[in-house]
């Protein structure tokens, strides 16, 4: 029987700390959240491996739990503060929502996959993450009813960032996403100050994609 607590400590020490993640609150949150609870039952023993983990058979769609190191680097980039309201795009099984919930005031997580939404809602409730709301809605539209947000975090790569997400950022807000496909993808940080949106490329980051954010296909004649 695997010692999950020890595996979690190894994940943080060997995967997270070694990739320049130094934010104490984030590291503490990743040590507290039981990652094995947010994977399919038959993959619990793989919960702490250093790679993306497929979420089938919970969903038949091509969805993954992000590699711990990539998640930690992106989460640190968001610079979450304890009074922030966070929007997570692509809740998946709820792992990222659980981590962020320990860092901020409240989390709104949207998920368009019915089975993942059901799993995340039940799991987060079961484990007592009461400042998270998981909403079954299209990912491409954001969630304007609770906007503006201090942090918007995409839990998967996108090809195009819809303008509507920039509109849902609050003053002083940050948006973290990975734009592009495969090894050519780049992590970006968008910021809003004095009503002006700025962006900067931070690092190359290859993570699994979210559907619904593809570039429009062009036609040649």
Q: What is the pLDDT of residues 148-168, one digit of tens each?
A: 999 999 999 999 999 999 999
Domain count, the chain: 1
* Number of helices (H), then strands (E), in the chain: 6, 9
Main-chain phi, psi angles of 57, to 5 degrees: -95, 10
Q: How far is CA 61 from CA 77, 165, 210, 211, in A?
A: 28, 24, 10, 10
Looking at residue 182, its pLDDT comes to 84
Q: Does 214 reside within a domain?
A: no
Euclidean distance between the first and final Cα of the chain, in Å?
61
Q: Does 188 reside within a domain?
A: yes
Tell me the average pLDDT across 51-59.
95
Count of C-beta atoms within a 10 Å radius of residue 163: 8
Q: Does 10 reside within a domain?
A: yes
Q: Which residue, 50, 124, 141, 34, is CA-closest to 90? A: 141
Q: Does 12 reside within a domain?
A: yes
Q: Does 212 reside within a domain?
A: no
Over residues 17-36, the pLDDT tens digits come to 999 999 999 999 999 999 99
Question: Which secondary-structure segment (H or E) carries 193?
Answer: strand 186-193
**Residue holding tokens 């290859």?**
206
Spatial neighbors of 154 by CB under 8 A, at least 6 apart, are: 89, 90, 175, 176, 177, 178, 210
**SS3 assignment, position 162:** coil
Tell me the whole-structure pTM to 2 decimals: 0.95
Spatial neighbors of 128 by CB under 8 A, at least 6 apart, are: none
- Average model confidence (pLDDT) across the chain: 95
Angle between helices 24-32 and 4-11 in degrees, nearest 10: 160
Looking at residue 221, its pLDDT comes to 54
Q: Does 162 reside within a domain?
A: yes
Structural domain containing residue 166: 4-204
Tokens of 27: 């590291």
Cα(51)–Cα(212) distance, rounded to whole angstroms? 23
Over residues 119-134, the pLDDT tens digits come to 999 999 999 999 999 9
Question: Which secondary-structure segment (H or E) carries 135?
Answer: strand 132-136
Q: Does 31 reside within a domain?
A: yes
- Reported as a pLDDT band with limits 50, 70 and 90, residue 218 is low
Q: Does 221 reside within a domain?
A: no
Cα(100)–Cα(102) distance, rounded to whole angstroms? 5
Residue 80 belongs to a domain with what CATH number? Answer: 3.40.50.150
Over residues 176-206, the pLDDT tens digits come to 999 998 888 999 999 999 999 999 999 999 9
């Amino acid at each position: 029987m695997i010692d999950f607590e020890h595996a979690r400590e190894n994940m943080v020490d060997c995967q997270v700390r070694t990739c320049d993640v130094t934010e104490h609150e984030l590291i503490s949150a990743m040590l507290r959240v039981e990652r094995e609870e947010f994977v399919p039952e038959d993959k619990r023993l793989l919960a702490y491996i250093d790679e993306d983990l497929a979420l089938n058979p919970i969903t038949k769609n091509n969805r993954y739990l992000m590699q711990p190191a990539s998640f930690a680097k992106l989460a640190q980039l968001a610079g979450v503060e304890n009074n922030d309201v966070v929007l997570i795009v692509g809740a998946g099984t709820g792992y990222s929502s659980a981590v962020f919930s320990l860092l901020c005031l409240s989390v709104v997580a949207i998920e368009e996959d019915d089975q993942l939404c059901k799993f995340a809602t039940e799991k987060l409730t079961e484990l007592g993450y009461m400042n998270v709301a998981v909403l079954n809605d299209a990912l491409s539209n954001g969630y304007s009813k609770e906007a503006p947000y201090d942090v918007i975090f995409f839990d998967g790569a996108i090809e195009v960032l819809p303008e509507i997400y920039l509109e849902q950022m609050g003053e002083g807000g940050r948006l973290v996403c990975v734009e592009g496909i495969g090894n050519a993808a780049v992590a970006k940080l968008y910021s809003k100050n004095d009503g002006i949106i700025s962006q900067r490329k931070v690092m190359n980051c290859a993570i699994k994609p979210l559907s619904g954010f593809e570039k429009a296909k062009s036609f040649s004649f």
